[in-house]
Amino acid sequence: MLNFIAKPTTRICMNTGVERSEFWESAFNEKGEMWGLEPAKSAIVTKDFFLDKSLKNILIPGIGYGRNAKVFYDAGMKVTGIEISQTAIEMAKKHYGDTLTIYHSSVTDMPYDTTLYDGIFCYALIHLLDEEERRKLINDCYNQLSANGYMVFTAVSKKASTFGQGKFISKDRYEIFDGVNMFFYDRESITAEFGKTGLFEIMEITENYPFYLIKCSKSTAHK
Ligand SMILES: C[S@@+](CC[C@H](N)C(=O)[O-])C[C@H]1O[C@@H](n2cnc3c(N)ncnc32)[C@H](O)[C@@H]1O
């Protein structure tokens, strides 16, 4: 099992938004704060990068129970999240109070406000989506970036030992366990998917599994 995903004991297929929401509800209900309260390495790297760029207003799609949000608001940034699980949102409120604004819904229906954010950080979510949903998420995030804003995504790499295991769905996409499909990235697919939205750096970073940290900018400076 991939331990950046919670596997609930009941089988729920994530083919629709409702099933996806039930999957995450079930996972957070059964396992609580399943990744602990420490931020992921990628969140710390991204916080330092956002600080260096003096970014102040941050959006975190798939914010979970907020463990990755804390480093940003501790550094003086305002954080807004989007999260499909009400249970995760309640856990975030318990730990972090009203310091976070969180929209309870799916990223597939973005945008939820007309704010232009100067930073977007999306951790370990995009690889759970299908091709059309990934395309829409990337474009929706890019459209919600202010001029000179930056967006950073993390996504699982084809170097993960689990790549190629489970039921084949489509190229580089597998059902890794009951009902959870995952798209495994390499530099080529990152360039194909993010190439038109200001992609300027691809870093490799090891979390529980090998991930890519994908940086895009709305400024022309990197083009
Ligand atoms: C792999 S977890 C990462 C959570 C969080 N970023 C962290 O590391 O603490 C993916 C998160 O995205 C949420 N999620 C999954 N699909 C979503 C969707 N379509 N819209 C919004 N949130 C979603 C899940 O509930 C979960 O909190």
pLDDT tens sequence across 105-164: 999 999 999 999 999 999 999 999 999 999 999 999 999 999 999 999 999 999 999 999
Say which range, 16-30, 34-48, 97-111, 187-201, has the weakest mean pLDDT.
16-30
Ligand 1 atom nearest to 35, measured from its CA: 9
Say how many Å lie between the CA of residue 223 and the centre of ligand 1: 30
Average per-residue pLDDT for the chain: 91
**Does ligand 1 have an atom closer than 6 angstroms to the CB of 64?**
yes
Residue with tokens 């003086």: 76
Would you tell me the crossing angle of helices 86-96 and 17-31 to the nearest 10 degrees? 40
Supply the Cα-derived Rg of the chain in whole angstroms.
Answer: 16
Find out whether 33 and 54 touch, Cβ atoms under 8 Å.
no
**Does ligand 1 have an atom closer than 6 angstroms to the CB of 156?**
no
Question: Which two three-digit tokens encode residue 109?
Answer: 């229906």
Burial of 168 (0-12, 13-18, 19+ CB in 10 A): exposed
- HSE of 183 in the Cβ direction (CA atoms, 13 Å)? 20
**Does ligand 1 have an atom closer than 6 angstroms to the CB of 88?**
yes
Q: What angle do CA 41, 36, 58 make, to 5 degrees?
A: 55
Find out whether 61 and 81 touch, Cβ atoms under 8 Å.
yes
Ligand 1 atom nearest to 28, measured from its CA: 25
**Does ligand 1 have an atom closer than 6 angstroms to the CB of 84?**
yes
**Does ligand 1 have an atom closer than 6 angstroms to the CB of 66?**
no
- The C-alpha atoms of residue 19 and residue 25 are separated, in whole angstroms, by 10
- The C-alpha atoms of residue 192 and residue 202 are separated, in whole angstroms, by 13
Say how many Å lie between the CA of residue 61 and the centre of ligand 1: 7
Q: With 90 as the cut, is the pLDDT of residue 181 above it? A: yes
* Residue whose CA is at the smallest distance from ligand 1 atom 3: 124
Q: Which of 75, 65, 63, 73 is nearest to 37 (CA)?
A: 65
**Does ligand 1 have an atom closer than 6 angstroms to the CB of 180?**
no
What pLDDT sits at residue 140?
98
Ligand 1 atom nearest to 27, measured from its CA: 25
Q: With 80 as the cut, is the pLDDT of residue 16 above it? A: no
What pLDDT sits at residue 21?
84
How large a percentage of the chain has pLDDT more than 90?
Answer: 82
Ligand 1 atom nearest to 66, measured from its CA: 9
Ligand 1 atom nearest to 107, measured from its CA: 20
What pLDDT sits at residue 2?
36
Q: What is the CATH number of domain 17-156+184-217?
A: 3.40.50.150
Q: Which of 195, 83, 84, 98 is nearest to 138 (CA)?
A: 195
Q: With 50 as the cut, is the pLDDT of residue 3 above it? A: no
Q: With 80 as the cut, is the pLDDT of residue 19 above it? A: no
Q: Is the peptide bond before 8 cis (omega within 30 degrees of 0)?
A: no
Indicate the pLDDT class of residue 18, thresholds 50, 70 and 90: low
Report phi then psi at 10, rounded to 5: -90, 145
Domain boundaries, given as residue ranges, for the chain: 17-156+184-217
User: What pTM does this model have?
Assistant: 0.93
Mean pLDDT of 166-185: 93
